[in-house]
């Protein structure tokens, strides 16, 4: 079961990864072992206080231990683009980097966005009441009224007027969204860690497909 929400004009894709219980059973011990026991592979992020642990290795998509997971992530990305009617015969899709984040009690990730990719994703390896995902409207007041988005100007908050949308993070779910969308996580208020895997996706034209406005195929690039 999947759905696409339109928050602030941005398509937000949410779906459950097939066989996520089996996949998580395999990868969770690997992530927990590396995070807890091998600090050489993980470092605290610098822009967050308190600071979650984030993997130094941002190429998890190339790690053979995660092959099954990324096969499902790739299916989700293609489904997301198909819903938006992309002609995928013209495009190439690349996961450029992917990393794990481990958030313990009172930790969160401050609002940010990813400016070196087209789409981003987060997959929840372990998440239940441990801090939700928030998307933030960066366009200010969209109603046309010159009033701030706060009480008492509105009688209720919903997708027609809210400035921040909340997604309840759930184990086994993947969320895909435009990388330019501002987002953050809530505080983990539990004694259990929230473990997620995030990544960025770049889209280029296929070799031989000419487009004035889109990124050409890497096969035509020249290293300087």
Return the CATH number at 139.
Answer: 2.60.120.620
Looking at the structure of the chain, the number of domains it has is 1
**Residue at 32 is within a domain:** yes
What b-and-e string marks burial along 75-97, b requiring 16 or more CB atoms within 10 Å of the CB? ebbeebbeeeeeeeeebbbebeb
Residue 60 structural domain: 2-212
Asked whether residue 78 is assigned to any structural domain, the reply reads yes
Give the pairing type, strands 91-103 and 53-55: antiparallel
- Cα 94 to Cα 106: distance, rounded to the nearest angstrom: 34
Q: Mean pLDDT for each consecutive 10-residue tract of the chain (224 residues)?
A: 63 93 94 62 48 73 95 96 93 94 78 88 88 73 53 63 76 92 82 90 94 91 94
Q: What is the pLDDT of residue 122?
A: 94
The answer as to whether 222 is a domain residue is no
154, part of any domain = yes
**pTM value?**
0.83
Report if residue 53 sits inside a domain. yes
pLDDT at 187: 80
Q: Look at residue 220 and tell me if it is in a domain.
A: no
pLDDT for 197 equals: 94
Name the 3-class secondary structure at 4: strand
Collapsing DSSP to helix, strand or coil, 212 comes out as coil
- What pLDDT score does 40 carry? 39
pLDDT at position 56 is 65
Whether 224 is in a domain gets the answer: no
Nearest to 188 by CA among 55, 51, 58: 51
Q: Give the orientation angle of helix 20-37 with respect to helix 67-83, to 10 degrees.
A: 120
């Amino acid at each position: 079961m999947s759905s696409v929400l339109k928050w602030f004009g941005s398509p937000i894709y949410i779906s459950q990864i097939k066989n996520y219980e089996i996949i998580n059973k395999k990868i969770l011990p690997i992530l927990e072992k590396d995070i807890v026991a091998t600090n050489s592979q993980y470092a605290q992020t610098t822009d967050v206080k308190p600071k979650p642990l984030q993997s130094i290795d941002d190429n998890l998509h190339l790690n053979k231990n995660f092959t099954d997971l990324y096969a499902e992530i790739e299916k989700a990305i293609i489904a997301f683009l198909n819903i938006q009617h992309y002609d995928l015969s013209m495009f190439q899709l690349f996961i450029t980097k992917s990393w794990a984040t481990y958030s313990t009690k009172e930790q969160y990730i401050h609002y940010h966005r990813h400016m070196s990719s087209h789409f981003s994703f987060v997959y929840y390896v372990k998440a239940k009441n441990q801090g939700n995902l928030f998307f933030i409207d960066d366009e200010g007041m969209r109603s046309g009224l010159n009033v701030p988005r706060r009480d008492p100007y509105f009688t209720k908050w919903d997708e027609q007027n809210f400035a921040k949308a909340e997604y309840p993070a759930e184990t086994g779910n993947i969320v895909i969204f435009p990388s330019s969308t501002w987002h953050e996580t809530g505080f983990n208020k539990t004694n259990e860690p929230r473990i997620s895997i995030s990544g960025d996706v770049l889209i280029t034209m296929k070799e031989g497909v000419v487009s004035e406005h889109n990124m050409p195929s890497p096969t035509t690039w020249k290293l300087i």
